[in-house]
């Protein structure tokens, strides 16, 4: 099969979604090192902390952590077939010149991984209000299961040409809905004093 996305197949919560065919899925697993879990709603990727990702203290830099947040989010979009025009834009978004932009990002680091550690990163998406898309991550030590860091974010749509925020139209919501977790709040709660 030459096309990247296979025909619709039964999927999450009895809804239909586009999934990559077996060969493309295996190829993506090899490229990203990740896989879908929990009926395709959670993406998990193992990351080996490399020498150029560490600072003088031999721990992963904050910048490298941020890079892995973005990388795992995009890999989930890639492996599910949601990414059409780069950076997670769906077909409908691309047709309407829309992109996702990060509105808020909150990260809690309990412990930075060190050089040669293998980190297991889980990420998932959920609806956030009427016009937002939430995404959460958990970084764990793959050996011990210890939580190293967690993050939560909200994305909004922006028109590439006008730079104005846009509402999520029904057609776009229909594209991403099969991949959204049904949760009430993000993993990190915000407390303001």
- CA pair distance 134, 176, nearest whole angstrom: 12
How remote is the C-alpha of 116 from its chain's centroid? 24
Average pLDDT over residues 163-173: 93
Average pLDDT over residues 147-173: 94
- CA pair distance 64, 53, nearest whole angstrom: 6
At 2 the pLDDT is 29
Q: What tokens were used for 121?
A: 């990163």
Mean confidence (pLDDT) of the chain: 82
Overall size of the chain counted in residues: 193
| Its pTM surpasses 0.85 | no
Q: At what angle do helices 22-32 and 62-80 cross, to 10 degrees?
A: 180
pLDDT of 125 higher than 70:
yes
DSSP letter, residue 82: -
pLDDT of 25 higher than 90:
no
CATH 3.40.50.720 for the 5-181 domain, yes or no? no
Q: Is the dihedral of CA 91, 97, 77, 124 positive or negative?
A: negative
Average pLDDT over residues 172-179: 93
Three-state DSSP class for 180?
Answer: strand
At 30 the pLDDT is 53
Read off the pLDDT of residues 37-73 as tens digits, 9 standing for 90 and up.
998 899 999 999 999 999 999 999 999 999 999 999 9
User: How many Cα atoms sit within 13 Å of 152 on the Cβ side?
Assistant: 12
The more confident residue out of 33 and 32 is 33
């Amino acid at each position: 099969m030459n096309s990247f996305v296979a025909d619709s197949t039964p999927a999450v919560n009895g809804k239909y979604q586009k999934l990559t065919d077996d060969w493309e899925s295996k190829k993506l697993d090899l490229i990203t090192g990740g896989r879908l879990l929990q009926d395709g709603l959670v993406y998990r990727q193992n990351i080996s902390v490399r020498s150029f990702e560490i600072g003088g203290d031999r721990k992963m830099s904050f910048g490298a952590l941020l890079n892995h947040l973005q990388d795992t989010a995009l890999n989930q979009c890639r492996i599910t077939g949601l990414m059409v025009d780069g950076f997670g834009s769906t077909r409908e978004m691309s047709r309407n010149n829309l992109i996702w932009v990060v509105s808020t990002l909150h990260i809690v680091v309990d412990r930075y991984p060190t050089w040669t550690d293998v980190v297991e990163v889980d990420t998932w998406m959920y609806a956030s209000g009427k016009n937002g898309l939430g995404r959460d991550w958990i970084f764990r030590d793959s050996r011990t299961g210890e939580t190293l860091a967690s993050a939560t974010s909200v994305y909004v749509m922006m028109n590439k040409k006008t730079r104005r925020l846009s509402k999520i139209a029904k057609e776009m919501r229909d594209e991403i809905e099969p991949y959204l977790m049904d949760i009430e709040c993000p993993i990190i709660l915000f407390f303001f004093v």
